[in-house]
Amino acid sequence: MEEQKLKIMVIDDENIVGKRLKPALEKTGDIVETFEEGEKALARFDKEPFDIVVTDIRMEKINGIEILERILAKSSRTKVIIITGYATVEVAREALSKGAFDFIAKPFKPDDLRAIIARASKELKS
Amino acid sequence: MHCRAVYGEMIMRILEKFKKITHKEPGIRDFCIQTIRFRKLLENARGLLALLADGNEKVLGEYILDRHYVTSLIDSSVERLGMMIYDACVLVPEFGETLYTQYDRHKRRAGELISQNSPSATKDMEANTNISSDPEYRLLSDVLTWLNGEPSDPGSTVIDFMKQTFVRVLKHIDTGNNSTIELLLSNNVSKAPGSNMFLLDLWEDAVVPSVKPHSPYAINCIPLKLLLMDADGDNLSPLLDDKNKTATWVATASEYQLSLKILEPDCSFHLEATVSRHEPSDFIFIFADTTINTENILPQGFHTEITNYGQLAWKLDTASKDIEDSLISIGRNLSPKTV
Amino acid sequence: MPFASENTAMREMDYHFRFRYETLRSLLNKNGGALQILSDLEADLNHIHYYDERIKRSIRRLITEILLMAQELNLLTKNRHTDLYETIFALRDRTDMIFKEGLSAADQPMALMISGIEKKPDPALIGGKAFGLYTLSKFFSDLVPPGFVMTTAAYNLLLEKNNLSDRIRILLTNLDVTTDRDQFKSRTQTIRRWIREAIVPEEIEKAIREYAEKISKTFPDTLWALRSSAVLEDGAHSFAGQFDTELQIHSENLVSAYKQVLAGKFNDRAVSYKIHKNIREIDTPMAVLFMPMIDPVAAGVIYTSELNATESDTMAINSVPGLANRMVKGEEPGDTFLVSKKTLPKLIKTIPASRDDSSTTKADYIKPEKLLEIAELAIDAEKKFGFSMDIEWAVDKNEKVHLLQARRLNITPSENETEGLFKRGKDTLPTLEGGTTIFPGRAEGPVIFLTPETDLSEVPDGAVVVAQQPKTEYAPILPKIAAFLVMEGNPVGHLATLVREFAVPCIFGLGKNLKILAGKNIISVNATKRAVYTGIRWPGIRESVLARIASKNRHEKTGPLYDLILKLNLTDPDAPSFKAKSCKSAHDVLRFMHEMSVRSMFGFGDAQKRGWKKKSKTLKTGLPIKFQLIDLDKSAMPGAHAVKPDDVASLPFKALWRGISDKSMPWPDRWARQMAGMPADFRETILGGKRGPRRASDTNYAIVAADYLNLNARLAYHYTMVDAMVGPGTENNYVHFRFRGGGASDENRDRRARFLESVLRQSGFGVDRRGDLVTAWRRRYPQNDSENSLEILGKLMVCARELDAVLKNDMDVKRYADYFLKGEYDIFS
């Protein structure tokens, strides 16, 4: 039985993150698009919603919390996963209370993120 | 001075020879505090190894990391090293000045690494396409060289400095510095044949009232119990040349921790272990001088190093079960009869 | 060579200084780590059992660190504090005893029948309500309907399997219902959503199915009622009506109804109730009771004691036709029947729901014989249980009486208010009389009328609150009000139960006349006599009411480990009891060692004092504060005796100074102008210079190094400590802040502490406030964030300086916090 492909969006203003995450997440056959600028990512989202959005919390122009809020306003079923630069409980708390699915602290292995995505995908299907 | 023997169940014969020394004895409390300080030094040394291991893992390129990670790694390494050096100075004040001179050199190097804007791109790395050419990874690679690169001269890397310091301190406190203990013990060594082991109760939790009425005390130190499980109670020796020699041991113990060392003028053997069934903290560490053949003592899976000062061996970051089994083997191997 | 020996001496002196410095750093570093362990422990103990291995490990780690700190302190002070060792070993010993006493939780069943079981169930497993019912079924086996309970083990499993424990914990931490209502609501809402969306583990679904089928054998095709049975519920704390009930549930919907009831554990009322009552999450896992619906013709509640002392021989039965749930929520009035409690109960009086005695409406849905039957059962139950009770009952179509719930009735006023209860006041006539006493006692305070628009968080402490109906939503304000007057109301509703629990003097059923109190300022209430007066009537009563409120709201945690580890007893470093021997907890030892180590650096009473004096430099500033600096690593102009702030090459010092000297700070520079002509001595005295009236510990001192700052200041009667390590890395950075004292009244100092708490929390600090002592920390943040935190602290030190004289009421706390956060600093001048 073929699993349905997930559409995943990755937003991080450090290009190393997207560059490394894209191939790692595509291994499971999901569709991954990466963005370094939040606004561009949001514009893309307007055209076509994504199942999962992975976004960094600290970015120059627009921060992850704002992205979270705007994504959920557009599509409440989308699961948003926040990347925190360092373990900050406060930020994680704010993100969770605003509806983020979960968070992950840098540095992390793509497999760790994949485990969270797998959980999110299970919830999407149920 | 008041001493009393303590009795356990399966290890009766050995326990008959135990001398329990309580905290109230003069000098004992200070000895306990120094033991706890030494364990702290060991913990800090382990911390440095863990940082190195973490860096080595991350540099393989599988991780999503940023420059921030590398800066933190440098910072934490200097901090850990500083903590360890401080412990060393508390244990052996006369080393202090030299140690801080060396430490300051590493600290300066750390500062240079952090402020370094364009890390060196060695030919090695350009040739190797597996290692990323991202600047974060290049800096990380430089940091790892500082921590544990090929030593051009002894003590030039952080890890080298750490190991040297560690062994110097250990030898110093195991030989020169424990005259108080030796004096205390010399008056109380049992005349009975066989080995003598003195039990110092680090936190007053290593010996507890037994549930069985006929044996008023039981050993509550998990690593010591394991070590003695299969051991021969009459003689525990680190495989000395002279098989007839009676070895005297000091076990400083608490529920999860054991510091065990031999009290012999011409022989140095020191074991540190934590067994709490909490994997991240469980470990065994052994130091033995070059006269001892550790190959006959150590079970498989130990990291071993032979230095000019003596032999180092340790096992950590493994399942608790593995640590437990290793301790049982070591105890068995230390009993000459089984050899 | 004559120089050689001098050089050696210099070098030795330098190393000696270096080692002291490293010792202090090591000690402070451990102190930071230990405080982190303490705050983690405090949080963990709300979620993990105290005998859990994880708790034991952290405590052992904590005590080891403390012992090493004691060794370091002794290195700094030439063994002046060796008696600490004894204290520390004793702490370790005593905590070990506590762990030994702890029980290891065995495998617990997911579901249990509540009646007909042999073994007495554990209330911690099935919850208070189910346990009450179990006990009731022992005595009245044929009157309690069969049912089963999904245990707290099932609840824990559901949370665990859905990865919810930690997430809920994060959202519940630092949750303050009174200051930020929106944040509070959004968090509780999120938690409820998580639970409703949770995937129910198969073993739980299976258990629900199997147990429901067992009961269906005697109750075919039944509908179900699901009720919460939280641990602690119906025990020491009533939790009355705090949790949700699901009625008329079809068998196929039991699982989703189950989640619905679990989610109700986190409804706003229940969460704020727990915060106010200081009940820990770990103590209230949720069991859920499943019972077949009784289709009642009448239902209600009976109290085995009437609440008005004069009528102690009567019982009150409250009743409605059909289901009673709206009545107990206070949403629908019920008929009240007073029954005499003699050997043969007799109906004495009927008060219809309309409260109109002359009304012709009759309660014809229930026969008097039934009421008497219920009364007899209740008297019987009271005898068997041994205390006054309130019992929920229902009568079905076949006139069979069922008992649905039973709990203890709390009607004893606290000692404070019994005192002088019956003394006669002045002979003025009450403004208003009547109603039913819900809880006796006297109180006075400003009148506040509750309307649907009232923001409950705005109700001031000590108010006399007037409401039309006793709605359960009002529960959050009960801990802070002086008295509660209600126009309508039903003495058996949930709110009445809560009122008694919080011991708030309260009268229900005062009628529309209450409106005449509108526009009155202060009123006095005697709930015992059911009388309300305008104005102040009893001297001293307001103070005792406020004291009661303060003591109720004090966030005093308890638990076997609390006294030994977390409790801070040594709060005043100037008190004679500030000694090693007075240390009762690990926290005390830490506090003591920290103070002593910092003092030792300045060599108070130390033989080496002069040596250190040489090392200290005067800080030259244009501001009216004076500091002496000790420079640990030559980061502040070696050789100079006085330095400018700009010359101090310490990252944390620079950041803090940026805040203190910020142009927008309301420094009273006019002082400097006004005092330009005054003698220097006098100025020094006023401005707290070194010749001011102070003791040694009052001195403003800062210890600096390139990446380190420790500052102790005493400004305008309060004490401030900043301890910070800031470098380019992240792992080792920390900023600690402590603030205490002030010259104003207790209340005002308390308000300033709350102001600080609010600002610091919103600026990303972790905060602990005990009275006027505020401790705040921000650890493991990058250089930039840590520097910003210090800048905020610098500004706070300036702005909060005299705030204890400014914050006149509770509303000011939030207002001023907002001013500060918005950068409107002028208001603070």
Q: Where are the domains of chain C?
A: 2-104+567-589, 111-292, 296-408, 415-540, 609-828
Residue A107: asked if its preceding bond is cis (omega within 30°), the reply is yes
Q: Which residues of B touch C75 (CB under 8 A)?
A: 90
Nearest residue in chain C measured CA to CA from A91:
C764
Q: How high is the pLDDT of residue A1?
A: 41
Which CATH architecture does the domain made up of C111-292 adopt? 2-Layer Sandwich (3.30)
Query: What is the band of C226 on the pLDDT scale with cuts at 50, 70, 90?
Result: very high
Residue A88 lies in a domain: yes
Tokens 């009759």 locate to: C362
Q: Highest mean pLDDT: which of B19-28, B199-208, C340-349, C520-529? A: C520-529
Amino acid, res. C621: T
Task: Write out chain B's pLDDT in tens, 339 residues.
Answer: 222 222 233 344 445 555 556 666 667 788 889 999 999 999 999 999 999 999 998 888 778 887 778 888 998 899 999 999 999 999 999 899 899 999 988 988 888 888 876 555 444 444 444 455 678 888 888 999 999 887 666 668 999 899 989 988 988 887 755 555 665 555 554 444 455 677 778 887 777 655 554 444 567 788 888 887 777 655 566 655 555 566 677 888 888 999 988 877 777 888 999 998 777 889 999 998 887 888 888 888 899 988 777 889 999 888 888 898 898 888 888 776 543
Considering only residues C76 and C1, tell me which one the structure prediction assigns the higher pLDDT: C76
Residue A118 lies in a domain: yes
Within a 13 Å sphere around the CA of C650, how many CA atoms are in the beta-carbon half? 30
By CB atoms closer than 10 A (0-12, 13-18, 19+), residue C71 is buried
Task: Evaluate whether the domain defined by B30-176 bears CATH number 2.40.128.
Answer: no
The predicted-structure confidence for C395-413, as pLDDT tens digits, reads as follows: 988 888 988 887 777 655 4
Contact C597, C619 (CB under 8 A): no
Residue A50 lies in a domain: yes
Name B281's Cβ contacts closer than 8 Å, sequence gap at least 6: B274, C57
> Is A119 close to C171, i.e. CB distance below 8 A?
no
The predicted-structure confidence for C575-587, as pLDDT tens digits, reads as follows: 778 888 889 999 9
Q: Is the ipTM value over 0.90, yes or no?
A: no
SS3 B292: coil
C780 has a chain A CB within 8 A of its CB: yes
β pairing state of A52-56 and A7-11: parallel
According to CATH, what is the number of the domain C415-540? 3.50.30.10
What is the total count of domains within chain A?
1
Give the N- to C-terminal CA distance of chain A in Å, as an integer: 17
Query: What is the C-alpha to C-alpha distance for residues C593 and B16, in angstroms, rounded to an integer?
Result: 42
Q: At residue A120, what are phi and psi to the nearest 5 degrees?
A: -65, -40
Query: What is the band of C355 on the pLDDT scale with cuts at 50, 70, 90?
Result: low
Answer CATH for C296-408 from 3.30.470.20, 3.90.650.10, 3.40.50.1580, 1.10.10.10: 3.30.470.20
Q: What is the CA radius of gyration of chain C?
A: 32
**Residue A38, domain extent:** 7-125
Q: Which of B72, B81, B92, B320 has the most C C-beta neighbours within 10 Å, making it the best mutation to test the interface with C?
A: B72
Name A8's Cβ contacts closer than 8 Å, sequence gap at least 6: A25, A30, A31, A32, A33, A50, A51, A52, A53, A54, A117
Q: How high is the pLDDT of residue B272?
A: 93
**Which stretches of B164-262 are assigned E, i.e. beta strand?**
196-201, 207-209, 217-219, 248-253, 257-262
**Which stretches of C296-452 are assigned E, i.e. beta strand?**
296-303, 314-321, 335-340, 346-351, 389-396, 401-408, 432-433, 436-439, 442-449
Q: Where are the alpha helices (DSSP H) in C536-608?
A: 541-553, 586-601
Q: How high is the pLDDT of residue C81?
A: 92
- Interface residue ranges in chain B relative to chain C, Cβ cutoff 8 Å: 23, 29, 33, 36-37, 40, 68, 71-72, 74-76, 79, 82-83, 86, 89-90, 93, 96-97, 100, 114, 203-205, 276, 278, 281
Q: What CATH number does residue A57 fall under?
A: 3.40.50.2300
Please count the residues of chain A: 126
- Spell out the domain ranges in chain B: 12-17+190-338, 30-176
Query: What is the C-alpha to C-alpha distance for residues C490 and C223, in angstroms, rounded to an integer?
Result: 29
Residue A1 lies in a domain: no
- Interface residue ranges in chain C relative to chain B, Cβ cutoff 8 Å: 11, 15, 18-19, 22-23, 26, 29, 53, 57, 64, 67-68, 71-72, 75, 85, 89, 92-93, 96, 727-732, 782
- Choose among A28, A25, A94, A29: nearest CA to A53: A25
Q: How high is the pLDDT of residue C206?
A: 93
Q: Give the mean pLDDT of chain C.
A: 78
Range in B205-219, C457-471, C645-659 the model is least confident about: B205-219
Which of B40, B89, B278 lies at the smallest CB-CB distance from C68?
A: B40
- Please give the biggest Cα pair distance in chain A: 43
Residue A45 lies in a domain: yes
Tokens 């003592």 locate to: B297
Q: Which of A20, A88, A114 has the most B C-beta neighbours within 10 Å, making it the best mutation to test the interface with B?
A: A20
Range in A22-36, A107-121, C733-747 the model is least confident about: C733-747
Q: Cα C747 to the chain's mean position, in Å? A: 18
Element (H, E) at A55: strand A52-56
Tell me the two tokens of residue C257.
């109804």
Q: What would the mean pLDDT of C426-441 be, rounded to a whole number?
A: 76
Query: What is the C-alpha to C-alpha distance for residues A104 and C393, in angstroms, rounded to an integer?
Result: 52
B62 has a chain A CB within 8 A of its CB: yes
Query: What is the C-alpha to C-alpha distance for residues C517 and C41, in angstroms, rounded to an integer?
Result: 49
A107 has a chain B CB within 8 A of its CB: yes
DSSP C93-157: HHHHHHHHHSPPP----SEEESSS-SSPPPHHHHHHHHHHHHHHHHHSTTTSPP-EEE-HHHHHH
Residue A2 lies in a domain: no
